[in-house]
Protein backbone atom coordinates (compact mmCIF):
# COMPACT_ATOMS: atom_id res chain seq x y z
CA UNK A 1 0.00 0.00 0.00
CA UNK A 2 2.89 2.31 0.81
CA UNK A 3 4.12 2.13 -2.80
CA UNK A 4 0.63 2.58 -4.28
CA UNK A 5 0.00 5.75 -2.29
CA UNK A 6 3.33 7.13 -3.40
CA UNK A 7 2.65 6.21 -7.02
CA UNK A 8 -0.73 7.93 -6.98
CA UNK A 9 0.51 11.19 -5.48
CA UNK A 10 3.56 11.25 -7.74
CA UNK A 11 1.39 10.70 -10.81
CA UNK A 12 -0.91 13.49 -9.62
CA UNK A 13 2.05 15.87 -9.30
CA UNK A 14 2.95 15.08 -12.90
CA UNK A 15 -0.50 15.68 -14.34
CA UNK A 16 -0.75 18.93 -12.38
CA UNK A 17 2.58 20.02 -13.92
CA UNK A 18 1.11 19.25 -17.35
CA UNK A 19 -1.88 21.43 -16.47
CA UNK A 20 0.38 24.22 -15.21
CA UNK A 21 2.40 24.30 -18.42
CA UNK A 22 -0.68 24.12 -20.64
CA UNK A 23 -0.30 20.57 -21.94
CA UNK A 24 -3.34 19.25 -20.06
CA UNK A 25 -6.62 20.47 -18.64
CA UNK A 26 -8.22 19.76 -15.30
CA UNK A 27 -11.81 19.48 -14.11
CA UNK A 28 -13.05 22.14 -11.65
CA UNK A 29 -12.67 19.71 -8.75
CA UNK A 30 -9.06 19.03 -9.76
CA UNK A 31 -9.55 15.30 -10.08
CA UNK A 32 -10.06 14.60 -13.75
CA UNK A 33 -7.56 15.42 -16.45
CA UNK A 34 -7.28 15.42 -20.23
CA UNK A 35 -4.56 16.20 -22.75
CA UNK A 36 -4.90 19.77 -24.04
Binding interface with other proteins (CB under 8 A): 1-21, 23-35
Q: What is the largest CA-CA distance in the chain?
A: 32
Closest CA to 13 of 24, 36, 2, 1: 24
> What are phi and psi for residue 12, nearest 5 degrees?
-65, -40
Q: What is the smallest separation between the CB atom of 22 and other proteins, expressed in angstroms?
A: 11
Amino acid sequence: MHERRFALVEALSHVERLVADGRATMSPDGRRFAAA
